[in-house]
Amino acid sequence: MECAEQKQEKLFDTVNAVKDASYKEKTNNTEALINSVLDHILDLKKILSDKAAQIEQLNERIEKITWSNEPFDETSLRMMNELIAAARDLCRMLKKNYEGFGVIGGTNYVTEETERFNEAVDDLRELAQDLESIYFNLPNQPGFTEITRQLTLL
C-alpha cells in the first residue's frame, strides 16, 4: 500500500500537470491559426470561382464560333487552328492545376468550386474538339456540305 506521502506527491504532480496543460492551452493561439486556415480556404474558393468564370466566358465566345454558318477562308482557318491549339494547351495547364486541387477538393471545403472549375475546363476541351470537327474533319466527309446547306435553309 502506498503511504500518504506518496499519494500526496502523485496528486500534487497530477495537479501540476493539469495546470501546465491548462496554461499552455490558454496561451496557445490556435484560434488565430484556424482563422488563418479558413481565410486561405476562402481565398482559394475565390480564385477557383474567378478562374471558372473566366473559362466560362471563353467557352461562350468559342461556342458562338461553333454556330457560325459562314465558311472560313484560308487565313481564318489557320487562325481557327491556332485557337484550337491554344484552347487545348490551356486545358492541359488547367487540368494540371485541377489535379493539385484534388487534395483540397476532397475536404468538402471547396467541392462546389472545384466541380465548377473542372466542368468549365471539360467544356473548353469539348469545344476545342467541336471546332476541329466542324471546321476540319466534317467538311471533308461526303454529304456534310449539302446537309449543312439544307439546315441553313430551315
Integer CA distances (angstroms), 137 to 25, 109, 122, in order: 67, 42, 21
For the chain (154 residues), the mean pLDDT of every run of 10, in chain order, is 80 88 81 86 91 97 84 89 97 86 63 89 96 84 73 70
Residue 17 lies in a domain: no
CB 55, CB 121: distance < 8 Å = yes
Residues in CB range of 34: below 8 A, 6 or more apart: none
Query: Crossing angle, helix 30-66 and helix 74-105, to 10 degrees?
Result: 160
Q: Give residue 22's pLDDT.
A: 86
Reported pTM = 0.72
Decide: residue 2, CB within 10 A, 0-12 exposed, 13-18 middle, 19+ buried.
exposed
Residue 3 lies in a domain: no
- Total of domains in the chain: 1
Rounded-to-integer distance, Cα 101 and Cα 105, Å: 6
Residue 97 lies in a domain: yes
Longest pairwise C-alpha distance within the chain: 105
Rounded-to-integer distance, Cα 101 and Cα 115, Å: 10
Residue 100 lies in a domain: yes
Q: Give residue 2's pLDDT.
A: 67
Residue 22 lies in a domain: no
Q: Give residue 84's pLDDT.
A: 97
Q: Give residue 116's pLDDT.
A: 92
Residue 29 lies in a domain: no
CB 66, CB 131: distance < 8 Å = yes
Tell me the residue range of the domain where 140 lies: 38-153
Q: Give residue 106's pLDDT.
A: 56
SS3 at position 46: helix
> Residue 123 has which C-alpha cell?
467544356
State the Rg of the chain over Cα: 30
